[in-house]
Amino acid sequence: MLQLPFIRENKELTLAGLKKKRVANAGEAVEQVLTLDQQRRDTQKELDDVLAQSNAKAKEIGALMKSGQKEAADAAKAETAELKSRSKELEESLKALEQQVMDVLVTLPNLPHSSVPEGRSAEDNEVVLENGEKPVLGDDALPHWDLIKKYNIIDFELGIKITGAGFPVYKGKGARIQRALINFFLDKALEAGYLEVQPPILINKDSGFGTGQLPDKEGQMYFAAADELYLIPTAEVPITNLYRDVIVSEDQLPVKNVGYTPCFRREAGSWGAHVRGLNRLHQFDKVEIVQIRKPEESYQALEEMSLYVQGLLQELELPYRVLRLCGGDMGFTSALTYDMEVWSAAQQRWLEVSSVSNFETYQANRLKLRYKVEGKTQLLHTLNGSALALPRILASILENNQTPEGIRIPKVLVPYCGFEVIN
């Protein structure tokens, strides 16, 4: 959440950032929050004055009673009653204004970093680099949704029978390669100094608010109404919320956590080849890395996280590219995001497999996640990244490594899988 003092002191910078993120009616929202804030401050000042008068009258009443001036004391008591009534009205007005300010603030996304390019959509994202040679397949090459049928490793029809579309059943070598990828990603994260955690996959409303899923993305999450709990869209949410309402001691920084969870997203929907098979699911597995850093260290950490994810893709022998997302294609809470996309040889298109983002203080402000600097508390920066999401990684492995003898498993996964070929 944006900090109100920053908006107040940097109105034009705020408007420029919201414009880059293509926020509709940004000017109206900023004017509204500043007007409400001024009303709130005026009300607070009046309340402070009324309370000061009330305290002074209380002392005056005591002195009048001691000196035997009962009539004057009674008059002062009447004035005190009026002041108390007024202070109650002001307190109620102040509470209402604070809520109105909050209601507007939560509708404003994070401001983009200065390096974020202008643009409206994915077509305007900046290609930072491209790595690896794209494999050239024969005319008889199959997309992964046909390969999984050919080798009987994933069953979408069974998933529809059990649950519905977008909930595949992995079986045999399909299940084993899923487990292999998860263990490989976790082991690499541990080697890189991340602490593994296994968080809940259901969250409450406060957790959803803390990382910015609520009130912005209710329609994208599955909701268990009876218990008012949400199925997580990513492990980012429960892992980052481990530190909600926490003052982290400086010697505990940086915080580096990794966790594997299933993830659930309702918005998997549209039709077409770009969402066929594993390209977009309602339930999928993902390993997530989360860091909490001092503000002056966070952008160096973001670059390190980007290189870390790229290293995973290199070990999996997958051609990939890195994009810096433009303002119009960025997430609500992010200040800067790199997307990693792998090349799908049979589909002849790039598939997003990871987003690595710096949220600066946006989530920390919601979470009240702080540390002490020279005795004063200061907001920390939060970062996270997919390392990695499995479905499109698996789709690309299957497509890029298909041969007449079967699907070749990347060498780094063979010790985890226990087999070299799917045939």
Binding residues for ATP: 265-267, 352-355
Q: Which residues are annotated as a binding site?
A: 234, 265-267, 288, 352-355, 384
| H helix and E strand count, the chain | 13, 19
Task: Indicate if the alpha-carbon torsion angle 232, 236, 288, 332 is positive or negative.
Answer: positive
Are the beta carbons of 56 and 80 closer than 8 angstroms?
A: no
Query: Residue 227 burial by CB count (10 A; 0-12/13-18/19+): exposed, middle or buried?
Result: exposed
Are the beta carbons of 151 and 407 closer than 8 angstroms?
A: yes
**Residues 286, 386: Cα–Cα separation, whole Å:** 7
What is the DSSP track for 281-318? Answer: -SEEEEEEEEEEE-GGGHHHHHHHHHHHHHHHHHHTT-
**Short-list 113, 122, 102, CA closest to 359:** 113
**Residues 74, 286: Cα–Cα separation, whole Å:** 71
Q: Which residues are annotated as a binding site for L-serine?
A: 234, 265, 288, 384
Please give the radius of gyration of the chain, using alpha carbons only, rounded to the nearest integer. 28
User: What sections of 22-69 are H helices per DSSP?
Assistant: 26-66
